[in-house]
Chains A and B, each alone.
Chain A
Amino acid sequence: MYMLWSIGMTEFFTAVTQHHFLQYALAAGLLAGLGCGVIGSYVVVKRIGFLAGGIAHSVLGGMGAALFFGFSPTTGAFVTAIIAALIIGMVTLHSKEKEDTLIAALWATGMAAGIIFIAKTPGYNTELMSYLFGNILMVSRHELWLMTALDLLVLLLVGLFYKQFLAVSFDEEFATLRGVPVTAFYLLLLVLVAVTVVLLIQVVGLILVIALLTLPAAIAGHYTRTLAGMMLLGALLGMGFTAGGLAIAYTPDLPPGAVIILLAGLFYILSLLLYKLRTR
Chain B
Amino acid sequence: MTAAPVIELDNVSFRYGDMIALENINLSINAGEFIGVVGPNAGGKSTLLKVVLGLLKPSLGSVKVLGRSAFESRTRIGYVPQYPRFARDFPITVEQAVLMARLGQTRWWGGYTRQDRAKALQSLQETETANLLKRRLDTLSGGQLQRVLLSRALACDPQILILDEPTANIDQRVEVEIFDLLKKLNERLTIIVVSHDIAFITSYVTRVACLNRTLMCHETAHIDGKLLDQLYGTHVHAVEHRHD
> Which residues of A come within 8 Å of B, CB atoms?
45, 47, 159-164, 166-167, 169-180, 221, 224-227, 229-230
Contact = CB atoms under 8 A, between A and B. Distances in A.
Contacts of A177: 53-55, 74-75, 77, 79
A17 to B, nearest CB: 39
B103 to A, nearest CB: 4
A170 B77 contact: no
A226 B93 contact: yes
A221 B91 CA distance: 7
B91 A230 contact: yes
Contact of A227 (B85, B91, B109): B91
B97 A170 contact: yes
Interface in B186-231: none
Contact of B109 (A45, A47, A161, A229): A161
Contact of B75 (A173, A178, A230): A178
Nearest to A41: B91
Contact of B101 (A169, A176, A178, A226): A178
A171 B79 contact: no
B74 A179 contact: yes
Interface of B is mostly: loop
Contacts of A221: 91
B74 to A, nearest CB: 5
Contacts of B136: 225
Interface residues of B, number: 33
A171 B145 CA distance: 15
Interface string B85-118: 1110011110011011101101011111000000
Interface of A is mostly: helix
B207 to A, nearest CB: 24
Contacts of B74: 176-177, 179
B104 A170 contact: no
A170 B103 contact: no
Nearest to B95: A226
B143 interface: no
B183 to A, nearest CB: 24
Contacts of A160: 109-110
Interface string B23-47: 0000000000000000000000000
B182 interface: no
A175 B93 contact: no
Contacts of A178: 75, 100-101, 103-104, 156
B5 interface: no
B100 A170 contact: yes
Contacts of B101: 178
B81 interface: yes
A98 B55 CA distance: 22
Contacts of B90: 45, 169-170
A224 B79 CA distance: 28
